């Protein structure tokens, strides 16, 4: 053993001497050609000695090369005690770098020795195990190495076992458990997609959550969800990465695959080995360049329409079996529905925002229109009535001062001027009333309808007398909750219409009465909750009715605070349950009135009273 060690040391020393000598000879050979000889050959000798020799041989080579540099290449030669400062620096750098390189090589050799010792211990331990099978798998689950115990347990030779899938060692129960695990993972992925839909997440969030689950079920290196826009022939990377394009990127469809192929291909496109695929697109070329070998694309379809693809890449050929394809298809179908639902939800939200914007704009337009209406009312009050008063005054002065000088035709003309002026004044007054009515603040309180009807009849006493109208008032009238000014205007307008809108040569006959209906309710809900069902508003007053006689604006003033009801005759319908607001309805002009149905005896319960009608009607119409 000592002779062997001595021989190994002599061999290491010989390597150092030989390498240093060869470096010196080569440097002397090229020195006539160079002004300053480089020390690179001596450095190579040190590296060679430490790499193929030992740490000591590297040190010896460093010493020999340093001496050769001093005595043969530093000036003046053979006189080291007068070596220049520049030479000393060059020599010091050479020695330092050589020693550092020698230490690195020594550390590498020590690490290799420890690694080899560890591998030997592992190999000896594995080979010593005979009762258990120990094997190593590649990423696809195939056996690449095994011990001798696997041959004894399985009864096959190592040559027959290498390259086989490890599932061959699993019992049917174990395989069923593995299949159940994959099924659970698939169901968890589908459940995550469903939860994303319920949380109203965006398509990007849904796709990202699906990919994060999918890579735990199917072994793949890259996955992406792509949406197609066939109008622009572009594809959006919704989640994942493909061909260097990350989430949110937009690429041309023909960069991924041919457009016609996308439209008409089968739901699943599977390429077992991209290397053997002749018609590779730029995206497949890119993926093949970075190591992808298998490609799987599953169509995302909604109601038969293609909206995108779920793509998977693996670095091994034939990485996606039928089970993986089925899992990807199931997830793709659910993902397509989720993306479509999210799109529809976003579209609905956009429509709602647009509608809200339109409502805001129209509200502003209505505010502006109301402002213009108010301005118009002031203009009518001050500007239009001023010349009208002049016409009225001049006509009356003409009639009073020169009436005896005019014949019958002149008298008739003056009367027509006065009547037309009065009619114009009535039109202007109706417009002002309508303007005031639309701007009035409605403060509701309990009102005595008898007092209001009496006041309205008194206001129109002169008109009733001039038209020789017959009016019948049937009391009592109920108390109602409403706005005093508005209700007063409505009563006056109803009576005024009953007087005015009568065919020529007919005497107006007016009847005012009220009807009350009592309802007993059983339950806790108040009538206010179903007020619209008790007295529903129907169609408004038709233009044909307004255009027969009289002033349409007068009818509009009457109709503005009340809704329309297709019953016969001008009517004011006041529904006044306990603690409720006044609800009024207005209808077309007629003389026929339908009687209220007589309610059957109701069950015991809470009593509420509804004063249902207070009418102003015309007979002989």
Instruction: Read off the pLDDT band of 561 (50, 70, 90).
Output: very low
Q: What is the DSSP string of 31-62?
A: GGG-SS--SHHHHHHHHHHHHHS-HHHHHHHH
- Which helix (DSSP H) or strand (DSSP E) does residue 225 occupy? strand 222-229
> What average pLDDT does the chain have?
72
Could you give the angle at the alpha carbon of 587 between the alpha carbons of 572 and 447, nearest 5°? 10
Instruction: Return the half-sphere exposure (C-beta side, CA atoms, 13 A cut-off) of residue 480.
Output: 31
pLDDT at 439: 58
What is the tens place of the pLDDT at every residue in 378-391?
776 667 777 877 88
Give the pLDDT score at 607. Answer: 36
Say if pTM beats, i.e. exceeds, 0.85.
no
- Count the neighbouring beta carbons within 10 Å of the beta carbon of residue 424: 16
Quick one: pLDDT at residue 619? 35
Contact indicator for 492, 460 with CB cutoff of 8 Å: yes
What is the structure's pLDDT at 358?
A: 92
User: Any idea which architecture 202-438 has in CATH?
Assistant: 2-Layer Sandwich (3.30)
* pLDDT at position 188: 75
pLDDT band at 55 (very low <50, low <70, confident <90, very high): confident
pLDDT at 281 over 50: yes
Any residues with CB less than 8 A from the CB of 427 and at least 6 apart, and which?
551, 553
Of all residues in the chain, the percent with pLDDT exceeding 70 is 67
Of 95-99, 130-134, 518-522, the one with minimum mean pLDDT is 518-522
Position 533 confidence tier, pLDDT thresholds 50, 70, 90: very low
| Whether pLDDT at 289 is above 80 | yes
Instruction: Name, in order, each residue with C-beta under 8 angstroms of 45's C-beta and a sequence gap of 6 or more.
Output: 19, 20, 22, 23, 61, 65
Q: Are 262 and 274 in contact (CB under 8 A)?
A: no
| Per-domain residue ranges of the chain | 2-126, 135-169, 202-438, 440-619
What is the model's pLDDT at position 244? Answer: 84
pLDDT at 564 over 70: no
CATH match of 440-619 with 3.30.1370: no
pLDDT recorded at residue 3: 53
Q: In what order do the strands lie in the sheet with 250-252?
A: 250-252, 234-240, 222-229, 305-314, 294-302, 268-271
Q: How high is the pLDDT of residue 351? A: 92
Q: Side-chain half-sphere of 175: how many Cα atoms within 13 Å?
A: 8
Q: Tell which wins on pLDDT, 370 or 562.
A: 370
CA atoms of 320 and 268, how far apart (whole Å) = 12
Tell me which of 541 and 320 has the higher pLDDT.
320
For residue 172, the model assigns a pLDDT of 61
d(CA 85, CA 88): 5
Range picked from 90-94, 210-214, 326-330 for highest mean pLDDT: 326-330
| Residue pLDDT, tens place only, 66-92 | 888 777 776 544 444 445 676 677 777
In this structure, what token pair is assigned to residue 475?
A: 């009391």
pLDDT above 60 for 592: no
Give the per-residue pLDDT at 483: 76
**Residue, of 153 and 536, whose pLDDT is higher:** 153
Taking only the tens place, the pLDDT of each residue in 433-474 is: 666 665 555 678 898 888 888 888 887 877 788 888 888 888
pLDDT of residue 167: 62
Count the Cβ atoms, other than its own, within 10 Å of residue 303.
Answer: 8
Confidence at 498, pLDDT banded by 50, 70, 90:
confident
* Residue 144 predicted with pLDDT over 80: no
Band the pLDDT of 200: cuts 50, 70, 90: low
Asked if 533 and 509 touch (Cβ cutoff 8 Å), the reply is no
Euclidean distance between CA atoms 339 and 328, whole angstroms: 16
Is residue 557 over pLDDT 70? no
pLDDT above 90 (res 359): yes
Q: What is the pLDDT of residue 361?
A: 92
In this structure, the number of other CB atoms found within 10 A of the CB of residue 323 comes to 14
Report which of residues 87 and 106 the model is more confident about. Answer: 106
């Amino acid at each position: 053993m000592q002779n062997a060690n001595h021989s190994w040391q002599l061999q290491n020393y010989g390597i150092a001497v030989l390498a240093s000598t060869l470096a010196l000879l080569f440097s002397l050979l090229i020195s006539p050609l160079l002004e300053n000889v480089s020390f690179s050959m001596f450095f190579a000798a040190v590296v060679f000695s430490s790499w193929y020799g030992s740490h000591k041989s590297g040190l010896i080579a460093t010493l020999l090369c340093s001496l050769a540099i001093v005595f043969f290449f530093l000036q003046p030669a053979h006189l080291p005690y007068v070596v220049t400062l520049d030479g000393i620096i060059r020599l010091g750098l050479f020695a330092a770098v050589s020693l550092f390189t020698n230490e690195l090589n020594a550390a590498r050799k020590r690490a290799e020795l420890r690694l080899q010792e560890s591998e030997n211990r592992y190999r000896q331990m594995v080979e010593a195990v005979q009762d258990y099978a120990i094997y190593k798998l590649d990423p696809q689950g195939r056996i690449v190495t095994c011990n001798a115990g696997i041959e004894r347990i399985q009864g096959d030779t190592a040559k027959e076992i290498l390259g086989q899938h490890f599932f061959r060692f699993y019992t049917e129960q174990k395989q069923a458990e593995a299949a159940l695990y994959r099924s659970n993972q698939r169901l968890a992925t589908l459940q995550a997609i469903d939860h994303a839909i319920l949380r109203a997440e965006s398509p990007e969030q849904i796709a990202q959550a699906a990919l994060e689950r999918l890579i735990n079920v199917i072994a793949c290196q890259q996955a992406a969800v792509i949406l197609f826009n066939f109008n622009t022939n572009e594809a959006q990377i919704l989640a994942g990465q493909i061909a260097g394009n990350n989430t949110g990127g937009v690429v041309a469809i023909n960069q991924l695959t041919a457009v016609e192929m996308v439209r008409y291909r089968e739901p699943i496109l599977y390429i077992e080995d991209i290397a053997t695929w002749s018609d590779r697109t730029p995206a497949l070329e890119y993926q093949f360049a970075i190591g992808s070998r298998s490609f799987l694309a599953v169509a995302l379809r909604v109601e038969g329409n293609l909206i995108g693809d779920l793509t998977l890449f693996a670095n091994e050929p034939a990485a996606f079996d039928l089970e993986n394809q089925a899992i990807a298809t199931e997830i793709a179908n659910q993902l397509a529905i989720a993306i479509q639902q999210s799109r529809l939800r976003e579209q609905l939200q956009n429509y709602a925002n647009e509608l809200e914007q339109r409502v805001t704009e129209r509200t502003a337009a209505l505010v502006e229109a109301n402002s213009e209406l108010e301005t118009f009312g002031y203009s009518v009050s001050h500007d239009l009535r001023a010349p009208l008063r002049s016409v009225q005054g001049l006509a009356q002065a003409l009639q009073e001062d020169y009436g005896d000088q005019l014949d019958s035709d002149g008298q008739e003309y003056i009367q027509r001027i006065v009547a037309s002026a009065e009619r114009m004044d009535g039109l202007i007054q109706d417009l002002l009333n309508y303007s005031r009515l639309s701007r009035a603040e409605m403060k509701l309180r309990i009102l005595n309808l008898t007092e209001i009807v009496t006041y309205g009849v008194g206001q129109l006493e002169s008109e009733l007398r001039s038209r020789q109208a017959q009016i019948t008032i049937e009391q009592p009238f109920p108390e109602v909750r409403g706005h005093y000014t508005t209700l007063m205007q409505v009563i006056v307008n109803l009576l005024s219409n009953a007087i005015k809108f009568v065919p020529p040569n007919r005497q107006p006959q007016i009847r005012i009465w009220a009807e009350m209906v009592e309802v007993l309710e059983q339950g806790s809900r108040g009538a206010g909750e179903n007020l619209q069902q008790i007295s529903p508003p129907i169609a408004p007053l038709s233009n044909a009715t307004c255009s027969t006689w009289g002033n349409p604006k007068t009818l509009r003033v009457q109709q503005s605070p009340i809704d329309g009801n297709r019953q016969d005759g001008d009517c004011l319908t006041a529904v006044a349950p306990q603690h409720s607001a006044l609800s009024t309805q207005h209808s077309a002009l007629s003389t026929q009135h339908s009687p209220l149905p007589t309610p059957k005896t109701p069950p015991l319960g809470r009593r509420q009273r509804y004063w249902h009608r207070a009418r102003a009607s015309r007979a002989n119409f």
